[in-house]
A = this chain, B = another copy of it.
Amino acid sequence: MATTDALVEDVIEILRRRGLRMTPQRRAIVAEIMRTQGHISPTALTRKVQDTMPGVNASTVYRTLALLEEAGVLAHAHLESGAEYHRVEEAGHVHLSCSRCGAEDDLSLEEAAALSQLIEQHRGFLPDLTHFAISGLCADCRREAEG
């Protein structure tokens, strides 16, 4: 996938500029997360990376994730299942999570902006709506629950 490869190169460039070294492990981890749509947990990422490169240790994955977050490449969000990482370019994804059936959906950028604007009116608080999911009932479950 050309797009993904290009992204990987971009990230490698960012890391290089920070004086960081590009090890095969880092390449594999970066490649895997750039290939990922949406979010992924450290544990799941570790498993995937190990499919390609069996020796990679979980601690290396954690250290790399922290690094990439510091470098502004990744961010993490808290979903019901725990912490999950995603590319910052994919931010804007405000996560809706159904507490009954587990269905996941996202708000549109416009919807997210409208929400942010409302919250900002509360004492100038600037929300990052991507950091925590929004839990609730999807329309289907709502119907079943309320009858």
Q: Using a CB–CB distance below 8 Å, which chain A residues touch chain B?
A: 78, 80, 96, 98-99, 105, 107-108, 111, 114-115, 118-119, 121-129, 131-139, 142
Of B96, B126, B134, the residue contacting A142 (CB under 8 A) is B126
Query: If A78-B78, A99-B131, A131-B99 touch, does A125 touch B136 (CB 8 Å cutoff)?
Result: yes
Of B111, B123, B135, the residue contacting A131 (CB under 8 A) is B135
- The secondary structure that dominates the A interface is mixed
* Distance in angstroms between the alpha carbons of A98 and B127 in the assembled complex: 9
Residues of B within 8 A of A135 (CB): 127-128, 131-132
Residues of B within 8 A of A78 (CB): 78, 80, 132
For A131, the closest partner residue in chain B by CB is B135
* Distance in angstroms between the alpha carbons of A119 and B108 in the assembled complex: 11
Residues of B within 8 A of A133 (CB): 132
B142 touches A136 (CB 8 A): no
B138 touches A119 (CB 8 A): no
Q: How far is the CB of A125 from chain B (nearest CB, A)?
A: 5
Closest 10 CB pairs of A and B: A124-B139, A132-B132, A131-B135, A127-B136, A126-B137, A128-B136, A126-B142, A126-B136, A128-B135, A127-B134
